Chain A
């Protein structure tokens, strides 16, 4: 196998083979930029949709309603059809000025230089720890993304009767994943008066037979070695115990922007996204960012769902990320042709 990585120079290196990264790669190819490399640390390309085993994906891109995994497959196929080079199991470990990046892969460490680098590393949910939730630290605590990848990718489940915390759009996915996996949530908790994602959740919780407890906050997790119960505080100040074998923290998305955070690039601390200009260009103009790693506080994106002001971090659907990958790739094409202002 020839090593695509070490010591190589590319016109554009894209970090992340999710919807944003792959659509950018396709756009670059179609615009005649041949020297493009997509790297992804995962063992398969496709990004987050790979573990979102539910519709609707693909409407914008393929004009059909698909599940996440089939959408991801389709994306990767399009990339392969256009002979886009994708290096898997390849983790970018460091970004340095002027498009110099360091990677680790089973072949060892390598350095790559690109005229432009696109950061398309996506988003994740906030774990229990940074929410500062009280209690023990047993097995059985996870996020929607973990539940989804355990179930859709490995057919394993982390609990059988969890409490779900949060009522964002992704909490809806959590409910539907539970349903598919034969998991029976005992309650869904929302601190506020209304669910973040209003009517669909009322409807979904009911349809799935999961009690939706509003103005109810998780105050303590109990159990060793597995979750045994949670204490919740109700609006009136009552504390009560709910028996369960897991806690699913859903939502509170935060960009997977570690690479930018650890580098010379400036971060917008309100959103934890790299700061970009109207072209998606970071504070070092050889770097760009697109997809869910960019949150909308830059003014560039509009939230896509009903968004009460207390929504913690709106997250874009795959289709939006796909669009953004395209648009940003077009700016990169312009940039390489010398057509962007400095």
Chain B
């Protein structure tokens, strides 16, 4: 508040707080994947995030489906990155202890019109190198998914679609970068920067960062960062919200596959899907809005989603709702990813990674590495990098509470132990907020939404975060 106003942001009094070969702006899933890849390739990196923790933007809420890319725009960079990202995830997930569940997806037709689109979808799948799409009859569908509404007509099965953990995934990527020498800065919004012909001096809220290359992975703020730092941007972010309704875990036995609608031009449509944590979710909506941070939910849309889910699986009527939430896609006025570079100024933009970024992030990271190689930049890949193992939160693998030696279970609905909570507040990438702690442990994310555990959690986290569950001691 009292700091003197200076015209020049690069006044010599501001300290350089980090130096690296590559600065990565943004700790969404894309930035985290890039941080990992470049670190493993031998670059020194610093990831700069304006929030108190990773996943402060688009990557906070998504459907967590690992897509094959069967329906991606043919020949696009998105398609390439989705396929590469998909393949790399399947190679590395075990070593990082990231969960995976093969559910397959059904593109379900409930009307003749929808069925009419099937031949196009099958062809597109083939063209996209996904060769195992298969048509299923009504009878075959109901054998697979006996709880689906009986008015289903037919479906295309996409056997190799998976569900994954949307939060542990980027966490593991960044953790691997950090444990192999990378750095991360939080509460460090990048506000502008200067390129001196050799390297960048980025101005952040916390001080300057000097780096040879900059990768803009600012997601919902990608255009703003380009405008402010580069001085130009050829795309505009058009935030598109997606709301979800999450059903109680009792719903999981009613559904085994991801149920995709027949897509329209605008979105993949409303999906009914199991989550890796053992719930069933319905969503997302596709609502254009101005707010880049407005992840609010609204009753009408939630009710509409709920109704749609019940139409597809009538037995969901008996299952309580556990949670509602929303995510925001960094869509742009164009349908393509907005990946570009300014090689003269050592700048790469990974913008407009709308609706497939969880899958494509590893592919995008490979792409960035290629672009740097093409510039003639070479690093020496790490010989035996550290491979961190993230705690498992998925229902299909052993959870912490199944091993003795914890002190108590804190969150009873999600069975989160004190050991898990304490661990999430330590280590190379500790939680930076209550929300970050929830994403790392699932505490309060279950059916009671904190009725039983908020008091204990408030006590365990007291003084650890800027914003706490409690507002203080009672005045008594």
Which residues of A come within 8 Å of B, CB atoms? 41, 43, 51, 89, 91, 93, 104-109, 124-125, 127-130, 132-137, 139-140, 142-143, 145-146, 149-151, 153-160, 180-183, 219-220, 224-226, 245, 254, 256, 258, 261-262, 267, 269, 272
CB-based contact A137/B471 at 8 Å: no
B 452-476 binary contact with A (CB < 8 Å = 1; else 0): 1011101100100001111111111
**B108 close to A (CB within 8 Å):** no
The answer to whether B449 touches A156 (Cβ under 8 A) is: no
Is the Cβ of A137 less than 8 Å from the Cβ of B297?
yes
How far, in Å, is B305 (CB) from chain A's closest CB?
Answer: 10
Chain A residue at minimal CB-CB distance from B466: A225
Q: Which one of A127, A130, A262 contacts B450 once the chains associate, using CB atoms below 8 Å?
A: A127
Inter-chain CA distance A261–B248, complex, in Å, is 10
Q: Is the CB of B406 within 8 A of A106?
A: yes
Closest to B446 in A: A258
Q: A156-B462, A157-B473 are in contact. List 20 more A-B contacts (CB 8 A).
A: A104-B415, A127-B448, A132-B306, A134-B296, A134-B298, A135-B297, A139-B467, A139-B468, A142-B454, A146-B451, A150-B458, A150-B470, A154-B458, A156-B459, A156-B474, A220-B298, A224-B293, A225-B433, A261-B250, A272-B320
Asked if B321 is at the interface of the complex by the 8 Å CB criterion, the answer is yes
Cα–Cα, bound, A271→B403 (Å): 35
Cα distance A224–B403 in the bound complex, in angstroms:
37
Contact B472 A106 (CB under 8 A): no
Min CB gap B436→A, angstroms: 12
Closest to A137 in B: B325
- How far apart are B62's CB and chain A's nearest CB, in angstroms? 16
Q: Measured between C-beta atoms, what is the minimum distance from B166 to chain A in Å?
A: 16
Contact yes or no, B412 A225, CB < 8 A: no
Asked if residues B405 and A146 are in contact (CB atoms below 8 Å), the reply is: no
Question: CB distance B476 to A104 under 8 Å?
Answer: no
Q: Chain B binding site: helix, strand, loop or mixed by DSSP?
A: loop
B-chain residues with CB within 8 Å of residue A254 when the two chains form the complex: 320
Determine if B455 and A127 form an interchain contact, defined as CB atoms under 8 angstroms apart. Answer: no
Give bound CA distance, A6 to B321, whole Å: 34
Q: Which of A130, A154, A219, A224 has the most CB of B within 10 A?
A: A130
A106/B408 in contact, CB under 8 A: yes
Nearest-neighbour CB distance to chain A for B118, whole angstroms, equals: 35
The A-contacting residues of B in range 287-330, CB under 8 angstroms, are: 293, 295-299, 302-303, 306, 317-318, 320-325
Residue pair A108, B404 in contact (C-beta under 8 Å): yes
When A136-B296, A269-B318 are in contact, do A156 and B472 touch as well, CB less than 8 Å?
yes
Known contacts A130-B321, A153-B455: does B473 contact A225 (CB below 8 Å)? no
Known: A104-B415, A107-B404. A130 touches B322 (CB 8 A): yes
Residue B350 interfacial (CB < 8 Å): no
A225 touches which one: B297, B306, B467, B474 (CB < 8 A)? B467
Which residues in A have their C-beta under 8 angstroms from that of B467? 139, 225-226
Contact check, A154 vs B459: say whether CB atoms are below 8 A apart. yes
Q: How many angstroms from the CA of A128 to the CA of B406 in the assembled complex?
A: 30
Instruction: Please tell me which one of the listed residues A51, A93, A145, A155 contacts residue B474 in the complex, with CB atoms under 8 A apart.
Output: A155
Taking a contact as CB atoms closer than 8 A, the residue among B299, B447, B450 that contacts A146 in the complex is B450
Closest to B250 in A: A261
Q: How far in angstroms is the closest Cβ of chain B from A253? A: 11
Q: A106 contacts which chain B residues (CB < 8 A)?
A: 404-408
30 inter-chain pairs at a CB distance below 8 angstroms, sorted by A residue, are A51-B455, A91-B409, A93-B415, A106-B407, A124-B452, A127-B449, A127-B450, A128-B449, A129-B324, A132-B303, A134-B297, A135-B297, A136-B296, A137-B295, A139-B434, A139-B468, A139-B469, A140-B471, A143-B451, A146-B454, A154-B458, A158-B470, A159-B471, A180-B476, A181-B474, A182-B476, A220-B298, A224-B293, A262-B250, A267-B318
Closest beta carbon of chain B to A121's beta carbon, Å: 10
Q: Which residues of A contact B298 (CB under 8 A)?
A: 134-135, 220
In the assembled complex, which residues on chain A have CB atoms less than 8 Å from the CB atom of B405? 106
Partner among B408, B470, B471 whose Cβ is within 8 Å of the Cβ of A43: B408
Residues of B within 8 A of A145 (CB): 451-452
A133–B245 CA distance with the chains assembled, in angstroms: 12
Residues of B within 8 A of A153 (CB): 455
Q: Which residues from chain B contact A154 at a C-beta distance below 8 Å?
A: 455-456, 458-459, 470
Q: How far is the CA of A104 from the CA of B299 in the complex (A)?
A: 38
Q: Does B37 contact A (CB under 8 A)?
A: no
Residues in B with CB closer than 8 Å to A182 are: 474-476
In the complex the two chains form, what is the Cα distance from A157 to B299 in whole Å?
28
> What are the residues of chain B within 8 A of A267 when measuring CB–CB?
318
Q: Across the interface, which residues of A come within 8 angstroms of B409, CB to CB?
A: 41, 89, 91, 104
Q: Is B413 an interface residue (CB 8 A)?
A: yes
Nearest B residue (CB) for A130? B321
- Give complex CA distance A124, B454 in Å: 13
Alpha-carbon distance A130/B451, docked complex (angstroms):
13
Instruction: Collect the chain A residues with CB atoms within 8 Å of residue B295's CB.
Output: 136-137
The 7 closest A-B pairs by CB, nearest first: A108-B404, A182-B475, A127-B449, A156-B470, A149-B455, A130-B321, A181-B474
Question: What is the CA–CA distance of A181 and B306 in the complex, to the nearest angstrom?
Answer: 38
B471 — which chain A residues lie within 8 A by C-beta? 140, 157-160, 226, 245
Q: State which of A125, A149, A157 has its C-beta within 8 Å of the C-beta of B472.
A: A157
Taking CB atoms, residues of chain A closer than 8 Å to B408 are: 43, 89, 106
Query: Do residues A132 and B299 form an inter-chain contact, with CB atoms below 8 A?
Result: yes
Q: Does B112 contact A (CB under 8 A)?
A: no
A154-B407 Cα distance, complex, nearest whole Å: 18
- CB A274 to nearest CB in B, in angstroms, measures 13
**In the complex the two chains form, what is the Cα distance from A146 to B448 in whole Å?**
10
Question: In the complex, which residues of chain A have a beta carbon less than 8 angstroms from the beta carbon of B379?
Answer: none
A142 touches B474 (CB 8 A): no
B402, closest chain A residue (CB): A109
**A interface footprint on B229-273 (CB within 8 Å = 1, 0 otherwise):** 000000000000000001011100000000000000000000000
Chain B min CB distance to A310 (Å): 20
Closest chain-A Cβ to B122's Cβ sits at a distance in Å of 38
Decide if A156 touches B299 in the complex (CB within 8 Å): no
CA gap between A124 and B446 in the complex, in Å? 13
CB contacts (< 8 Å) of B186 on chain A: these are none
Q: Are B450 and A142 in touch, CB under 8 angstroms?
A: yes
A93, B451: Cα distance in complex, Å: 18
Partner of B476 from A41, A181, A225 at Cβ < 8 Å? A181
Instruction: Give the Cβ gap from A234 to chain B, nearest Cβ, in Å.
Output: 17
- Nearest CB of chain A from residue B294's CB, rounded to whole Å: 8
| Residues of chain A within 8 A of B452, CB atoms compared | 124, 145, 149
Q: Please judge, given known A-B contacts A156-B472, A160-B471, whether A258 and B296 are in contact too, CB under 8 Å.
A: no
**Distance of A173 Cα from B474 Cα, bound (Å):** 17
Chain A residues whose C-beta falls within 8 Å of the C-beta of B10 in the assembled complex = none
Q: Is B401 an interface residue (CB 8 A)?
A: yes
Whether the pair A181, B458 counts as a contact (CB closer than 8 A) is no
Partner of A124, one of B433, B448, B473: B448
- Bound complex: CA of A157 vs CA of B406, how far in Å? 27
Q: A164 to B451, alpha carbons, bound, how many Å?
A: 16
CB neighbours of B250 from chain A (8 A): 258, 261-262
Beta-carbon contact of A91 and B449 below 8 Å: no
